[in-house]
Amino acid sequence: MAAQKIVVAITGATGAIYGIRLLEALKECPDVETHLILSGWAEKTIALETNHSVEAVHKMASCSHDLLNMKAPVASGSFQVGGMAVIPCSMKTLAAIAHGLAENLIIRAADVMLKERKKLILVPRETPLSVIHIENMLAVTKAGACLVPPMPAFYNHPATIDDLVNHLVGRVMDQFGLSHNLSRRWCGINAP
């Protein structure tokens, strides 16, 4: 059985650890091949926010693609992939996806996901939201993308930042139908 290919794009929005942790989690899935794209600002954010080097993040992926390489396999609908996550997704990238402005490989690969009706998961990172942000979110949702904003859940009693990151990454993994043990699931409440 061929490996499921998943594109992981990390933009320059704060929260680079979400994309890094997703790569780590996907690496633990035996039948998943990851294709990584980093924006220029993602590289700066990784250095600013994490203890990971950009080179180490590239090594977490099965394959890395240059942001400006519009000849990469992920730029074509004929390249079979299971889907794509833009994690975190800057408002600039979200706006470009919403309006089909495929000026780089992240936006082109996202555009391919939409036109091929493949799973496109966007993890938008901004607060507060303007009307422009909300309208762009509505546009990508109408086009077929799934928005998974990094909103913490407290029913599982997170004790660390890792707990919060793992919960969000687990929700993204759920969207791809991939098994994981990243966080405790809601089991309901037993009323007295």
Q: Is the pLDDT of residue 18 over 80?
A: yes
Tell me which amino acid residue 46 is.
I
pLDDT in tens, 69-128: 999 999 999 999 999 999 999 999 999 999 999 999 999 999 999 999 999 999 999 999
Q: Is 14 annotated as a binding residue?
A: yes
Q: Is the pLDDT of residue 1 over 80?
A: no
Q: Is 108 annotated as a binding residue?
A: no
3-state secondary structure of 109: helix
The token pair that represents 64 in the structure block: 């890395």
Dihedral sign, CA of 166, 49, 56, 118?
A: positive
Domains in the chain, ordered, with CATH? 4-175 (3.40.50.1950)
The owner of tokens 């240059």 is 66
Q: Is 93 annotated as a binding residue?
A: yes
Q: Is the pLDDT of residue 3 over 90?
A: no
Residue 98, H or E segment: helix 91-98
pLDDT in tens, 128-156: 999 999 999 999 999 999 999 999 999 88
Q: Is 61 annotated as a binding residue?
A: no
Greatest alpha-carbon span in the chain: 61
Residues paired with 121 in a beta bridge: 85, 146
CB atoms within 10 A of CB 87: 29
Q: Is 13 annotated as a binding residue?
A: yes
pTM: 0.95
Q: Is the pLDDT of residue 52 over 90?
A: yes
Q: Which has the closest alpha carbon to 10: 32, 34, 43, 53?
A: 43
